[in-house]
Chain A
Amino acid sequence: MSYKTIDEANQAVAAKIVAGSPFLLDVVPAKSVIKELNEGKVLLHAGPPITYDKMVDPIQGACVGAALFEEWCDTEEEAREMLESGEVKLIPCHHVNAVGPMGGITSANMAVLVVENKTDGNRAFCTMNEGIGAVLRFGAYSDEVITRLRWMRDTLAPVLSAALKTKEDGLNINVLIAKAIAMGDEFHQRNIAASLAFLKEMAPIIVGLTDIDQVKREEVVQFLADTDQFFLNVMMASAKAVMDGARQIQEGTIVTAMCRNGHDFGIRIAGMGDEWFTGPVNTPQGLYFSGFSESDAAPDMGDSAITETFGVGGMAMIAAPAVTRFVGSGGFYDALNTSDEMTEICIDTNPNFPVPTWDFKGICLGIDARKVVETGILPVINTGIANKKAGLGQIGAGTVTPPIDCFEKAVLAYAKKLGFTE
Chain B
Amino acid sequence: MLHTIIKANSYQDSIVLMLLTNKLNTIDGVHNVSVMMGTPANKDIFKTGGLYTDELEKASSNDMVIVLDIEDDSLIDQVLSEINVFLEEQTKGGGDGAGEEVAKTWDKAFELGKEAGVAVFSIPGTHAALEIERALDEGKHVFCFSDNVAIEDEKRLKEKAHEAGLLLMGPDCGTGIINGIPVAFTNAVRKGKIGVVGASGTGIQEVTTIIHKLGGGVTNAIGTGGRDLKEEIGGITLKDSIMTLEKDPNTEVIVVISKPPAPQVRDEVLNLLRSISKPAVTIFLGEKPDAHEENLYRAYTLEEAAQIAVQLLNKEAVTPRKESLNVPAHTLKPEQKYVKGLYSGGTLAYEAAMLIKEGLHLSEGEHAPEGFILKNQGHEIIDLGDDIYTQGKPHPMIDPTKRKEMLEEVGKDPETAIILLDVVLGYGSHANMAQELAPTIKELKVQAKNQGRELFVIGTVVGTDEDTQDIHEQETIMKEAGVILCDSNAQAVRMALAILEHPLTVEVKEVLPQSAVTPVSIAPSEAMLALLTNQGFINIGLRSFSEAITNHGGKVVQYDWQPIAGGNITLQKALQFLKKVELGK
Chain A interface (Cβ < 8 Å from any Cβ of B):
2-6, 8-9, 251, 253, 333, 340-341, 343-344, 370-371, 373-378, 404, 408, 411-412, 414-415, 418-420, 422
Give the Cβ gap from A184 to chain B, nearest Cβ, in Å: 23
Task: Determine if A376 and B571 form an interchain contact, defined as CB atoms under 8 angstroms apart.
Answer: no
Q: Is B288 an interface residue (CB 8 A)?
A: no
Contact in complex: B582, A408 (CB < 8 Å): no
- Determine if A370 and B108 form an interchain contact, defined as CB atoms under 8 angstroms apart: no
B570 beta carbon closer than 8 Å to chain A: yes
For residue B575, which residues in chain A have a CB less than 8 angstroms away from its CB? 370, 373-374, 411, 415
Q: Are B570 and A422 in contact (CB under 8 A)?
A: yes
11 A-B pairs within 8 Å (CB atoms) are namely A6-B581, A8-B583, A333-B96, A344-B107, A370-B578, A375-B562, A404-B9, A411-B574, A415-B574, A415-B578, A415-B581
Contact B578 A2 (CB under 8 A): no
Is B583 within 8 A of A373, CB to CB? Answer: no
Chain A: minimal CB distance from B572 (Å):
9
**B578 A253 Cβ-Cβ under 8 A:** yes
User: Which residues of chain B are within 8 angstroms of A8 by Cβ–Cβ distance?
Assistant: 583
Query: Judging by beta carbons under 8 Å apart, are A5 and B583 in contact?
Result: yes
Give the CA-CA distance A58 to B583 in the complex, in Å: 44
Would you list which residues of chain B between 536 and 585 have a CB under 8 Å from chain A? Answer: 562, 564-566, 568, 570-571, 573-575, 577-579, 581-584
- Looking across the interface, which residue of chain B has its beta carbon closest to that of A252? B583
- Chain B residues 377 to 403 lying within 8 A of chain A, measured CB to CB, are none
- Are B573 and A420 in contact, CB atoms less than 8 angstroms apart? yes
The 5 A-B residue pairs with the shortest CB-CB distance, nearest first, are A2-B584, A415-B574, A420-B577, A344-B105, A3-B583
Whether B571 contacts A2 by the Cβ 8 Å rule is no
B62 within 8 A of A: yes
Residue pair B579, A411 in contact (C-beta under 8 Å): no
Name the residue of chain B whose CB is nearest to the CB of A420: B577
B104 within 8 Å of A by Cβ?
A: yes
The yes or no answer to B103 lying at the interface (CB within 8 A) is: yes
Contact A408 B571, beta carbon cutoff 8 Å: yes
Q: Is B584 a contact of A343 with CB atoms below 8 Å?
A: no
Tell me, yes or no, whether B456 is within 8 Å of chain A by CB.
Answer: no
B121 in contact (CB, < 8 A): no
- 13 new A-B contacts, CB < 8 A, other than A344-B103, A375-B105, are A5-B581, A5-B583, A6-B578, A374-B564, A375-B104, A376-B9, A376-B565, A376-B566, A404-B9, A411-B571, A411-B575, A414-B578, A418-B583
In the complex, the answer to whether A420 meets B574 with C-beta atoms within 8 Å is yes
**Complexed CA–CA distance, A422 and B568 (Å):** 12
Closest beta carbon of chain B to A227's beta carbon, Å: 37
**Contact A376 B574, beta carbon cutoff 8 Å:** no
- Closest chain A residue to B106, Cβ basis: A374
B11 at the interface (CB under 8 A from A): yes
Known contacts A411-B578, A412-B570, A415-B574, A377 near B583 by CB under 8 Å: no
Given A4-B584, A376-B11, A411-B571, the answer on whether A371 and B105 have CB atoms closer than 8 Å is yes
Residues B577 and A415 in contact, CB atoms below 8 Å apart: yes
- Set of chain A residues within 8 Å of B574, measured between Cβ atoms: 411-412, 415, 420
Residue of A nearest to B8 (CB): A404
Residues from chain B with Cβ under 8 Å of A333 in the complex: 96
Which of B9, B107, B571: most chain A CB closer than 10 A?
B571
Chain A residues in 8 Å Cβ range of B584 = 2-4
The chain B residue with its CB closest to the CB of A343 is B108
Complex: A376 Cα to B61 Cα, angstroms: 12
Residue contact B108 to A418, C-beta cutoff 8 Å = no
Complex alpha-carbon distance, A340 and B574, angstroms: 26
Closest to B109 in A: A344
Separation in Å of the B104 CB from the closest CB of chain A?
5
A9 to B582, CA, bound (A): 11
- Chain A residue with the shortest CB-CB distance to B62: A376
Residue on B nearest A414 in the bound complex, by CB: B578
Cβ contacts under 8 Å, A415 to chain B: 574-575, 577-578, 581
Question: A277 CA to B192 CA in the complex, in Å?
Answer: 61
Question: In the complex the two chains form, what is the Cα distance from A356 to B253 in whole Å?
Answer: 54
Q: Which residues of A contact B568 (CB under 8 A)?
A: 408
Q: Which residue of B lies closest to A378 (CB)?
A: B9
For B342-386 the 0/1 string (1 means CB < 8 A from A) is 000000000000000000000000000000000000000000000
Also in contact, A418 and B96, with CB within 8 A (given A343-B108, A344-B103, A374-B565): no
Q: Known: A408-B571, A420-B573. Contact between A374 and B105, CB under 8 A?
A: yes
B562 and A4 contacting across the interface, CB-CB below 8 Å:
no
Q: Is the CB of B578 within 8 A of A341?
A: no
- Select B581's contact among A374, A412, A419, A422, beta carbons within 8 Å: A419
For A251, what are the chain B residues with a Cβ–Cβ distance below 8 Å?
A: 583
Given known A376-B562, A408-B571, A412-B574, contact A344–B104 (CB-CB < 8 A): yes
Most chain-B Cβ atoms within 10 A of its Cβ — which of A3, A375, A412? A375
| Contact A2 B583, beta carbon cutoff 8 Å | yes
What residues of chain A lie closer than 8 Å to B582, measured between beta carbons? Answer: 4-5
Q: How far is the CA of A343 from the CA of B571 in the complex (A)?
A: 22
Interface residues of B in 88-140 (CB under 8 A from A): 96, 102-105, 107-108
